[in-house]
């Protein structure tokens, strides 16, 4: 059953007075509980597609349904609320709030949910333990190494839990050990929780950890293949 349905999806930007067609009438379905890697050369539209799927950006035309919701019909605030309920984010850049501790960064998405303080605490502790950083809960991002910072950045996606986990270059410029840790976490989320994951990556070896690879070229679907 499809969680995400894209039909004739277009996204145009204006650059130097000219329209750039980043996504060009894209058709794509993503199954609930699937693990998909988006690949393609720079400028192929993979991050743009990921942003549209996660409600961060809006399509210029076409239809995008996520879990039965037509995102184009939601206004800014409705879209924000939808994101808080349905999407977990792992960014290319770590994007942690610098003035908050690791614990508070992980707790952040929960502040918008109607939960007791005890329930929030339970989930945050559990998420930090999942990324093996419970003992660093009081550290601020600048006090963490790059690898630890990325692990903390993964944890907010675990606390809600989201309908869709959106990950943009989650292994980024990490060394192999940290990259493997991130991928192991995603693997566990997928197999143990049935989490739907859509991930952008340039790295074939990372893409092979997903179930399916979708390759884009010039804003169109070039290839989609099962990887395992």
- Check if the beta carbon of residue 78 is closer than 8 Å to that of residue 129: no
Query: Which span sits near another protein by CB under 8 A: 62-70, 108-116, 203-211, 219-227?
Result: 108-116
- Tokens linked to 32: 């609930």
Task: Using CB under 8 A, pick the residue from 8, 19, 20, 97 that binds another protein.
Answer: 97
**111 part of the interface to another protein, by CB under 8 A:** yes
Nearer to another protein, 2 or 74 (CB): 74
- Tokens linked to 85: 């309920």
**103 part of the interface to another protein, by CB under 8 A:** no
CA atoms of 100 and 206, how far apart (whole Å): 30
- Check if the beta carbon of residue 9 is closer than 8 Å to that of residue 60: no
The strands making up 87-90's β-sheet, listed across from edge to edge, are 87-90, 164-168, 196-200, 35-39, 212-217, 220-226
**172 part of the interface to another protein, by CB under 8 A:** no
Nearer to another protein, 19 or 111 (CB): 111
Residues lying near another protein in the complex (CB under 8 A) = 51, 54, 56-57, 76-77, 80-85, 89, 91, 95-100, 104, 108-109, 111-112, 114-115, 117, 120, 140, 156
């Amino acid at each position: 059953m499809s969680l995400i349905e894209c039909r004739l999806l277009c996204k145009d930007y204006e650059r130097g007075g000219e329209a750039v067609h980043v996504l060009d009438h894209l058709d794509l379905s993503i199954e609930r509980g699937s693990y998909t890697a988006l690949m393609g050369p720079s400028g192929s539209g993979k991050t743009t597609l990921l942003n549209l799927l996660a409600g961060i950006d809006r399509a210029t035309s076409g239809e995008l349904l996520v879990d039965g919701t037509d995102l184009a019909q939601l206004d800014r605030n409705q879209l924000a609320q939808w994101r808080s309920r349905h999407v977990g984010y792992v960014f290319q850049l770590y994007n942690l709030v610098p003035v908050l501790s690791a614990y508070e960064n992980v707790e952040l998405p929960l502040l918008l949910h109607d939960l007791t303080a005890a329930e929030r605490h339970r989930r945050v502790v559990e998420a930090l333990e999942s990324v093996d950083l419970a003992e660093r809960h009081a550290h601020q991002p600048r006090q963490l190494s790059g690898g630890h910072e990325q692990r903390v950045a993964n944890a907010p996606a675990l606390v809600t839990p989201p309908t869709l986990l959106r990950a943009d270059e989650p292994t980024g410029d990490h060394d192999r050990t940290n990259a493997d840790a991130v991928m192991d976490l995603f693997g566990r989320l997928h197999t143990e929780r049935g989490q739907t994951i859509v991930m952008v990556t340039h790295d074939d070896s990372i893409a092979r950890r997903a179930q399916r690879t979708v390759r884009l070229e010039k804003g169109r679907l070039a290839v989609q293949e099962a990887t395992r």
